[in-house]
Amino acid sequence: MVVPGVRQFEHCQHGLTDEQYECMASALDRVGLDCRKPGITCCLNPHVRQVIERRHESNRILGMTDPDLVKFCFDPSHVYIGGWDPVGSIEKHKERIAGVHLRNLKDGYYSNPATGEINMDQVLQTLKRASYSGWILHCMPAYAHYGESEAEVARDNFRYLETKLW
């Protein structure tokens, strides 16, 4: 996304420089302030193959931004790919979680929350213990590689979440 008046970052093979972190934190705080006026929540969404991907990058930028202006969009699959335990990320940033993208990983693909490498029962229980009460969005990626129709996937996901959510 191009934000007018905000310097764009060049890709750094070995991560951001201190100056780039400071620039990004300042930009996020400004965006968060501008978003607050119309009632929009600005969230950092760590994402694989993006500037902020790994645990240390996420922790650093969240530590440099105003927690009242920049929240955390928790996605267990991207947190996991970024090298950190999803439960630990919830516990560390529970006050800042303002949205959840709920999806798991299986065989290198996004999968149903109930099946995959991430223990989603633990993730949901940790969110519950953290008193999270915001939106949980289940992303419906393509499931053709599992031979299931989108309707079957949606039904299975609804049944799982119906039994697990509070």
- Domain range list for the chain: 18-164
CB distance 34 to 58 below 8 Å: no
Per-residue model confidence as pLDDT tens digits over 51-84? 898 999 999 999 999 999 999 999 999 999 888 8
Q: Cβ distance 55 to 89 under 8 Å?
A: yes
The pLDDT value given to residue 36: 93
Predicted local confidence at residue 53, as pLDDT: 87
| Average pLDDT score over residue span 93-121 | 90
Residue 48: what pLDDT? 83
Look at residue 129 in the predicted model and tell me its pLDDT.
Answer: 95
User: 81 is written with which tokens?
Assistant: 């790919």
Give the DSSP H or E segment for 70.
strand 70-74
Long-range contacts of 114-122 (CB under 8 A, 24+ apart): 114/156, 114/157, 114/160, 117/80, 118/76, 118/77, 118/80, 118/86, 119/87, 120/76, 120/164, 121/164, 122/86, 122/87
Q: Which of 13-22, 33-42, 106-115, 145-154 has the highest mean pLDDT?
A: 33-42
Task: From the options 3.20.20.70, 1.10.1040.10, 3.30.420.40, 3.20.20.150, give the CATH code of 18-164.
Answer: 3.20.20.150
Q: What is the pLDDT of residue 45?
A: 92
Residue 165, pLDDT score: 79
* pLDDT on residue 51: 86
Cα→Cα distances 19→7, 50, 129, Å = 11, 18, 37
DSSP state of 79: H
| Structure tokens, 14 | 């070995």
pLDDT value at residue 39: 94
pTM, full prediction: 0.82
Instruction: Provide the pLDDT for residue 3.
Output: 38
Give tens-digit pLDDT for 1-56. 443 443 343 444 558 899 999 999 999 999 999 999 999 999 999 988 888 989 99
Q: Is the dihedral of CA 113, 40, 53, 96 positive or negative?
A: negative
